[in-house]
């Protein structure tokens, strides 16, 4: 629980440069299974066994069936109060960056703009040869595994275990973590690197690290405050937002 000192709303009010790191827990209340929770399983497989280049090389059809299942499930999910609280936060602080590990696209659907997707996005596919990107439909794929017009296999445009994160996204996240004056971590088990090192970087540069998660994580000991509970309940309350069901889209500049 909170270890004393100013509450999160006070810290935000005083902050100039805020970074938020999210994981699968921020989408849990939208109905998206987390990676390591009970809902994280698909058929008899573990996510870690399928989200690898080796699994894709061995059985591209199986891996695409998993992503196709996830996309169709996520298409029926909506952003929840935690996503919208983060949108409000983005619009409230002078400098803001959302760094998400999630590939479900729900932050963008909620209205987040200043964000990096460290692990890519399952709504996009990439040609295995050319690297060209194409958007994927909410409906089931006509052909599994899908192929590029060049004939080569398409792959989900996500970062698999053992693959490097997109350098521009990681560099932007590291720079923001080292320069922020408040680092908020929401809904991550903090076991996947290098994303899990970002709060450590923030703390080493003097920023308070505030964790909001259902249960303790390896980050809890390091955090200045840990709030355990559901992000959709806790985050709006901690930030002092009485959230309208869906925040008005930003007025065009
Ligand atoms: C790399 C995309 C090097 C795919 C994902 C030891 C040390 C350092 C690194 C390693 C190491 N051993 C192995 C590694 C490397 C590995 C790694 O970190 N492995 C872990 C498992 C130990 N990392 C990598 O391979 C990364 N690449 O290191 O490359 C390199 C460098 C140069 C050249 C070549 C290679 C790549 C990692 C990215 C993998 N891709 N996703 C896809 O999604 O299909 S990771 C995957 O895990 C998701 O992105 C997910 O977001 C992410 C992290 O998981 P979480 O988001 O935290 O989800 P989880 O289910 O674990 O936890 C949810 C939390 O929410 C829980 O704590 C739960 O309590 C909480 N919760 C639940 N409900 C709620 C809630 N909280 C609040 N409210 C609720 N309602």
Q: What is the CATH number of the domain that holds 210?
A: 3.40.50.1220
107 is catalytic: no
Ligand 1 pocket, residue 163 CB under 6 Å: yes
What gap in Å lies between CA 72 and CA 76, rounded to an integer?
7
Comparing 9-13, 153-157, 161-165, which segment has the lowest mean pLDDT?
9-13
Is 85 a pocket residue for ligand 1 (Cβ < 6 Å)?
no
Residue 253 lies in a domain: no
Query: 93 and 183: one domain?
Result: yes
How many residues make up the chain in this entry?
A: 253
Q: For residue 70, give the ligand 1 atom closest to its CA.
A: 44
Do 197 and 82 belong to one domain? yes
State whether the beta carbon of 32 lies less than 6 angstroms from ligand 1.
no
In a shared domain, residues 149 and 228? no
pLDDT in tens, 191-243: 999 999 999 999 999 999 999 999 999 999 999 999 999 999 999 999 988 65
E strand or H helix at 203, and its extent?
helix 198-204
Query: Distance between CA atoms of 225 and 238, rounded to whole angstroms?
Result: 12
Domain span including residue 197: 8-32+78-119+165-239
Whether 2 maps to a domain, the answer reads no
Task: State whether residue 159 is helix, strand or coil.
Answer: coil
Query: Which domain CATH number covers 61?
Result: 3.30.1600.10
Q: What is the pTM of this model?
A: 0.94
Q: Do 181 and 221 share a domain, yes or no?
A: yes
The edge-to-edge listing of strands for the beta sheet with 120-127 is 133-135, 120-127, 154-158
- Euclidean distance between CA atoms 117 and 170, whole angstroms: 9
Our answer on whether the CB atom of 217 is closer than 6 Å to any ligand 1 atom is: yes
Residue 145 is assigned to a structural domain of this protein = yes
pLDDT tens digits, 9-59: 999 999 999 999 999 999 999 999 888 776 555 777 888 889 999 999 999
Query: CA of 14: how far to CAs of 17, 65, 75, 223, in Å?
Result: 10, 47, 37, 18
121-146: per-residue pLDDT in tens?
Answer: 999 999 999 999 999 999 999 999 99
Q: Is 86 among the domain residues?
A: yes
Instruction: State which ligand 1 atom lies nearest to the alpha carbon of 192.
Output: 18
Which residue owns the Cα nearest ligand 1 atom 40?
160
Among 119, 193, 227, 228, the one annotated catalytic: 119
Region for residue 151 given its phi and psi (left: phi exceeds 0; alpha: psi -120 to 50; beta: otherwise): left
Output the CA 101–ligand 1 centroid distance in Å.
Answer: 7
Closest ligand 1 atom to 66 CA = 44
Task: Please give the distance, rounded to the nearest whole angstrom, from the Cα atom of residue 25 to the centre of ligand 1.
Answer: 12
Burial class (CB in 10 A: 0-12, 13-18, 19+), 226: buried
Beta bridge partners of 156: 125
Total number of domains in the chain: 2
- 35 CB less than 6 Å from ligand 1? yes
Q: Can you tell me the distance from the alpha carbon of 195 to that of 240, in angstroms, rounded to the nearest whole number?
A: 27
> Does 183 fall in a domain?
yes
Residues 6+ apart with CB under 8 A from 207: 19, 177, 180, 181, 182, 183
């Amino acid at each position: 629980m909170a270890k004393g000192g100013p509450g999160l709303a006070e810290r935000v009010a005083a902050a100039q440069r805020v970074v938020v790191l999210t994981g699968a827990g921020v989408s849990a209340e939208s109905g998206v299974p987390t990676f390591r929770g009970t809902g994280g399983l698909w058929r008899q497989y573990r996510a870690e066994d399928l989200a690898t280049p080796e699994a894709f090389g061995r059985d591209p059809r199986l891996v695409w069936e998993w992503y196709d299942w996830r996309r169709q499930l996520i298409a029926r999910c909506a952003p929840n109060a935690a996503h919208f609280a983060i949108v409000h936060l983005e619009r409230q602080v002078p400098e803001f960056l959302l760094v998400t590990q999630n590939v479900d696209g729900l932050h963008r659907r909620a209205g987040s703009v200043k964000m990096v997707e460290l692990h890519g996005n399952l709504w996009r596919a990439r040609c295995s040869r050319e690297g060209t990107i194409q958007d994927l439909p909410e409906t089931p794929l006509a052909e599994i595994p899908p192929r590029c017009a060049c004939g080569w296999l398409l792959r989900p445009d996500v970062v698999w275990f053992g693959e490097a994160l997109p350098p521009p996204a990681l560099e932007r996240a590291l720079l923001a973590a080292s320069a922020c004056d408040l680092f908020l971590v929401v809904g991550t088990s903090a076991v996947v690197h290098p994303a899990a090192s970002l709060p450590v970087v923030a703390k080493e540069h003097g920023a308070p690290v505030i964790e909001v998660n259902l249960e303790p994580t390896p980050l809890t000991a390091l955090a200045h405050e840990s709030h355990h509970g559901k992000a959709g309940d806790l985050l709006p309350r901690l930030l002092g937002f009485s959230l309208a069901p869906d925040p008005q889209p930003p007025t065009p500049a």
